[in-house]
Amino acid sequence: MAVDERVLQQELAGLDALEFDGDGAGRRPIVGRVWRSLWPKLAAFALAVGLWQLVVLSRWKPDYVLPAPGTVFAELGRIVTTATFWHAVSVTARRAATGYALAIVVGGLIGALVATIRPLRTAVGALITGLQTMPSIAWFPLAILLFKLSESAILFVVVLGAAPSIANGLISGVDHVPPILVRAGRMLGAKGPTLFRHVVLPAALPSCLAGLKQGWAFAWRSLMAGELLVILGNRPSIGGSLDFARQLNDAPRLLAFMIVILTIGLVMDVAFGAADHRLRRRYGLVDTAT
Amino acid sequence: MLFQEAALLPWLTAAGNVELGLRLRGVGRRERRAEAEELLALVHLAGMGERRPHELSGGMRQRVALARALAQAPDVLLMDEPFGALDAMTRDLLHDELERIWAETGLTVVFVTHNVREAARLGDRIVLLTSRPGRVAREFAVDLPRPRRIESPAVSALAGEVTAALRQEVARHGR
């Protein structure tokens, strides 16, 4: 036996203990953490409402065009108690979910193929980025020609809006996998699809998530544009309600629906932010000292 | 095979990294867990399996990488300057650790290093290579008794001898 086993064990354990400076210790209580992230948002909200009230008080526009925050929030409170509102929300949510899910499938598939097959990359890599810059509303005339005024027209545009971002996120994630990890994977005997599944894909995940987040933003915008343009008589939707409020010159109702759209966007953003943070924490990309 | 960096997969725990090595060798799910635990115990990391690489120190990561390399059940372990990025204290301890594991497993280890003392401390044979093309310039048989200490006079003397030969080799390129 080389060195005294027991002494070595003790020395190693001592060194390990010294190299650690309290892991996870000092995490704040949950209430404190929530409050710390919440109060700046509440302050910003109060500021925005305050500015809005000031503009109203300045009588820049008559109040049947630009109503005061109080009126709008009262209208919002009334709307959310109606069954029609929740019907509209559910129709919109179903469209968003279907469209986004389709976009993930399409974008993921295209992304995976383009990222791994080199000639394909040369052929359509730039095209994907090009598609991303295309305003999704510009697709609607074509979508309406192809699918008439239908659910499919809306889905078509939502998918076209979101899929390029999702594909791009995957492609750039795969491009930026640290070569040392690929080497490690090869060293362990992984190659081809095994290497992709065990090393490349997990390593690309943070970038994928960024793509998914951006894809969602595009999907949501496309969906709102679609619901304004493609209004199906028997199906109330959030975008449709917005347009309806404008036709009736019902400003409080219009603004109330805008707040609903904004809120949904914010909630999704927070959800993606939380997922991103968890992932980065897991991957050791967050400085835990702060 | 071990690199200068531990090259652990950051999304897997220490045990997960070792288990991936076992999995890619075709070890069944149930045996994987037990065997990974054993390997981690071998490198003195029992109970650290649930930590992720970023929660480990440099020396610990390199030990996980060693356990992962051992998971492949290799005949020869190739180590490419594995302790180069570690501090001196950790490196000394890992020399002891490697010597112990080498004695326990009976593996052949090919250890690449620029640190001549490290070579004298660990090796049975020291092979001095030329640069471009990498040919064997000289070979030293080391018959110092184990356990060795890196600061011992015998190791120093041998290191001196190897260093002299190395310098000659380097000087040849300067001409």
CB contact under 8 A, B99 and A2: yes
Cβ–Cβ below 8 Å for A2 and B44? no
Question: What sections of A58-116 are H helices per DSSP?
Answer: 69-79, 83-116
The domain tally of chain A equals 1
Pick the residue of A20, A187, A286 with the most B CBs within 10 A to test the interface with B by mutation. A187
Q: What is the 3-state secondary structure (H, E, C) of A177-227?
A: CCHHHHHHHHHCCCCHHHHHHHHHHHHHHHHHHHHHHHHHHHHHHHHHHHH
- Predicted local distance difference test score (pLDDT) of residue A2: 45
B53 touches chain A (CB under 8 A): yes
A226 lies in a domain?
yes
* Interval A171-189: pLDDT, tens: 999 999 999 999 999 988 8
Is the CB of residue A152 less than 8 Å from the CB of residue A195?
no
Within a domain: A215 = yes
Rounded to whole angstroms, how far apart are CA atoms A134 and A234? 31
CATH code (residue A201): 1.10.3720.10
Residue A114 contacts residue A171 (beta carbons within 8 Å): yes
Say whether pLDDT at A1 is over 50: no
Q: What's the rounded Cα separation, in Å, for the pair A226 and A220? A: 10
- The one-letter code for the residue type at A260 is V
Touching check for A1 and chain B: CB below 8 Å? Answer: yes
Q: How far is CA B37 from CA A185, B11, B47, B48, in A?
A: 21, 18, 8, 9
What is the Cα–Cα distance from A199 to A184, expressed in whole angstroms? 9
The answer, for A188 touching chain B at a CB cutoff of 8 Å, is yes
Give the Cβ contact number of residue A270 at 10 Å. Answer: 12
- For the segment A63-87, the average pLDDT, to the nearest whole number, is 93
pLDDT at A31: 83
pLDDT above 60 for A23: no
* Cβ–Cβ contact B138 with A under 8 A: no
Identify the burial level of B126 via C-beta atoms within 10 angstroms of its C-beta, where 0-12 means exposed, 13-18 middle and 19 or more buried: buried
Q: What percent of chain A has pLDDT over 90?
A: 62
The pLDDT value given to residue B108: 93
Helices (H) and strands (E) in chain A, counts: 12, 0
> Could you tell me if residue B12 is left (phi over 0), alpha (psi between -120 and 50 degrees) or otherwise beta?
beta
- What is residue A234's predicted lDDT score, i.e. its pLDDT? 77
**Partner A contacted by B103 (CB < 8 A):** yes
Residue A266 has pLDDT above 60, yes or no: yes
Task: Give a yes or no: residue A245 inside a domain.
Answer: yes
- Give the least confident one: A26-35, A161-170, A251-260, B32-41: A26-35
Interface test with A, best of B13, B96, B151 (most A CBs within 10 A): B96
Which residues, 6+ apart, have CB-to-CB distance to A279 below 8 Å? A205, A206, A209
Kindly state the average pLDDT of the residues B106-111: 92
Q: Is residue A287 part of a domain?
A: no
Provide the residue range defining the domain that includes A94. 80-281
Q: Cβ–Cβ of A2/B11 closer than 8 Å? A: no
**Residue B20 touches chain A, beta carbons under 8 Å:** yes
Pairwise CB contact (< 8 Å): B44 & A9: yes
Residues facing B127 on adjacent strands: B139
Would an 8 Å CB–CB cutoff place B100 in contact with chain A? Answer: yes
| Chain-chain contact of A15 with B90 (C-beta, under 8 angstroms) | yes
Interface A–B counts its CB contacts (< 8 A) at 82
- Tell me, what's the pLDDT at A20? 66
Is there a domain that residue A227 lies in? Answer: yes
Residue the block writes with tokens 């390129």: B173
Q: At what angle do helices A151-175 and A118-133 cross, to 10 degrees?
A: 130
User: Which residues numbered 18-57 in A keep a CB inside 8 Å of some CB on B?
Assistant: 19-20, 23
At B26-41, the pLDDT tens digits run: 888 888 999 999 999 9
Q: Which two tokens mark B74? A: 């290799």
**A265 close to B (CB below 8 A):** no
Q: Is A205 on the interface with B (CB under 8 A)?
A: yes
A42-54 pLDDT, tens digit per residue, is: 999 999 999 999 9
Query: Per the domain annotation, does A208 fall within a domain?
Result: yes
Q: Is residue A58 part of a domain?
A: no
- What pTM, to 2 d.p., does this model score? 0.80
Q: Which of B11, B25, B89 sits opposite A189 (nearest CB)?
A: B25
Residue A48 placed within a domain: no
Give first-to-last CA distance, chain B, whole Å: 35
Q: Cβ separation of A203 and B9 shorter than 8 Å?
A: yes
Sign of CA dihedral A51, A53, A59, A64: positive
Sign of CA dihedral A83, A86, A92, A95: negative
Q: Which two tokens stand for residue A148?
A: 């008439």
Lowest mean pLDDT among A77-86, A191-200, A270-279, B127-136: B127-136
Q: Which of residues 74-93 of B touch A (CB under 8 A)?
A: 89-90, 93
ipTM for the complex shown = 0.82
Confidence bin at A27 (pLDDT 50/70/90): low
